[in-house]
Amino acid sequence: MARLCEGRVAIVTGGARGVGREHCLMLAEHGAKVVVNDLGGDRSGKGNDVGPAQQVVDEIKAMGGEAVANGDDVSDWNGAKHMIEQAVEAFGKLDAIVLNAGILRDRMLVNMSEDEWDAVIKVHLKGTFAPARHAAAYWRDQAKLKGGPVDGRIITTTSVSGIYGNIGQTNYGAAKAGIASFTIIAARELGRYGVTVNSISPSAFTRMTEDLREYSEEDKKRRDPKWIAPVATWLVSEDSREVTGRVFQAGNGIFAVAEGWHKGPTVDQIMDPVQAGKVLGEIARKARKNAGMNGLDLD
């Protein structure tokens, strides 16, 4: 079997369970050396235990691969920096970072607490920014030393809750929509260094989603986290170097590319608010309606 990531070094955040674990195992199966990052908390972000990350490391070593565990908090500036440094110290370089760590604190907007908002935004948005920023700085420096582009990869994790919108998740959805935008902008910024930036929107049955609704056995099979790992593995590989700034959906029986915001019906601007309102109402009715949670049905 061809090994897509032979000799590549990748960090996977939130790598101890669910989707992250499957990323780690498939990357190792395809020859990558893996830093398995996981704080080891519950799905709300409380607690810490490096044990689950070490268990994945042990699994990888048992299959003949190379891996190390990391328990840094992805949303901590210095912890994120240490994560990059650990990869380089352990394996001599860094080729990719898969930003998968996340938590849930779902609540309807009228009942959401400040802490529920802050905790989710911190883990998802800052937990994407901080490791990506330190990895990007590393690759910029490597490009300068090399005198040309490197072959780096940043893979973020978004969600249909953000790119399409899901009731009860204003915090999580806002963070995930922000990550999708972060991906597009970072891709434009880092291309000069030979770094691609893409995002995955997974549909997977994990501890994060198991109690959101009733799942049939067929649902669970279609949403097995293993279906997400091929996308991450290909994006980490050198084969994906021509693709950047994209959001891929994976799981629930499909691979798809999510298409972002586009300008709709347009008119000349008007100063009078009454007249402006008539025109705005008209073009709003003409515009394509927002997608539903499957990305196709209209609200």
Whether 176 is a known active-site residue: answer yes
Torsion angle, CA of 187/192/196/198, rounded to 10 degrees?
10
Known catalytic residue at 164: no
Among the options 75, 122, 126, 159, which is catalytic?
159
Q: Could you tell me which residues come within 8 angstroms of residue 217 by beta carbon, excluding any fewer than 6 positions away?
A: none
The set of residues, in sequence order, having a beta carbon less than 8 Å from that of 19 and lying 6+ positions away, is 100, 157, 202, 204, 206, 225, 228, 229
- Do the beta carbons of residue 28 and residue 34 sit within 8 Å? yes
Mark 53-62 as b/e (b = at least 16 C-beta within 10 Å). Answer: bbbbbebbee
* Distance, CA of 273 to CA of 213 (rounded, Å): 44
What residues form DSSP beta bridges with 247?
Answer: 199, 258
Q: Clarify whether 221 is annotated catalytic.
A: no
Q: Which of 81, 48, 14 is nearest to 228 (CA)?
A: 14
Beta strand 247-251 pairing with 254-258: antiparallel
| Catalytically annotated residue among 81, 172, 201, 240 | 172
> Among all residues, which ones are annotated catalytic?
159, 172, 176
